[in-house]
């Protein structure tokens, strides 16, 4: 691998558990603001969690087809350092956030379909700092299912991406063996869980250590 991979632990919903996960020093921790998700959090809970996240860990709010002004307000009220946009409107939403002078990091989360890979390879001036490729699903992620990562060999865009979708202790070696010049990190969620929104500390620690040991 050309450089050290970043680690994002997503779907944290319990204050004490999130603080324990943050103590393992992943690069990013994510909170989901999508009510249908079993890992959804309220703004109040997210504030409580964010207050216990050290400054060396970036907090990410995950939103699905949410109004840009609402995202902006939520991010400011919690003090989020990044947002992850999902659904069908994330490109226009990200542009609107930029127009509103949102200065934090923006992830665009996309199902790894052939059409999306082509669009993201050829589009110019996309308003994202990072992309995240996930397993196609109606739930916008969190399925615990993987996809054929070889599809991403067809991604020729200039925005670095995170690999997501069912990555956990049992297939992390395979994920680490996957190479792509724009791969910059791994997003882990449901395969680390003791129950929805609560991560198993030992499992998470082992994955973070392996990613950091095996990526240069």
134 counts as catalytic: yes
Which residue is it, tokens 């990410």?
60
10 is catalytic: yes
- Give the number of C-alpha atoms closer than 13 A to the C-alpha of residue 123, restricted to the C-beta side: 13
Distances (CA, A) of 99 to 14, 65, 106, 123, 127: 33, 17, 13, 19, 10
- Let me know how long the chain is: 216
Q: Which two tokens stand for residue 127?
A: 């308003």
Sign of CA dihedral 146, 141, 157, 6: negative
Rounded distance, CA 8 to CA 199, Å?
13
Residue of 10, 93, 184, 207 marked active site: 10
Query: What is the DSSP code string of 148-197?
Result: -GGGGGG---SS-EEE-SS--TTTHHHHHH---TTEEEEEE-GGGEEETT
Q: Which of 14, 93, 134, 207 is catalytic?
A: 134
Residues catalogued as catalytic? 10, 134
């Amino acid at each position: 691998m050309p450089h050290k991979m970043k680690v994002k632990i997503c779907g944290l919903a319990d204050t004490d558990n999130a603080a324990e996960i943050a103590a393992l020093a992943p690069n990013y921790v994510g909170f989901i603001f999508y009510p249908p998700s079993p890992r959804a959090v309220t703004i109040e809970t997210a504030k409580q969690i964010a207050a216990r996240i050290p400054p060396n860990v970036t907090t990410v709010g995950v939103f699905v087809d949410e109004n840009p002004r609402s995202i902006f307000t939520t991010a400011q009220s919690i003090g989020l350092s990044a947002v992850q946009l999902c659904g069908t409107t994330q490109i226009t939403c990200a542009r609107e956030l930029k127009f509103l002078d949102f200065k934090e990091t923006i992830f665009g989360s996309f199902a790894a379909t052939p059409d999306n890979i082509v669009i993201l390879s050829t589009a110019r001036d996309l308003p994202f700092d990072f992309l995240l490729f996930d397993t196609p699903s109606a739930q916008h992620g969190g399925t615990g299912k993987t996809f054929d990562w070889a599809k991403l060999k067809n991604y020729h865009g200039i925005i670095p991406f995170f690999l997501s979708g069912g990555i956990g202790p049992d297939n992390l070696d395979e994920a680490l063996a996957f190479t792509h010049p724009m791969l910059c990190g791994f997003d882990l969620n449901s395969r680390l869980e003791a129950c929805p929104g609560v991560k198993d500390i030992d499992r998470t620690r082992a994955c973070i250590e392996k990613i950091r040991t095996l990526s240069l």
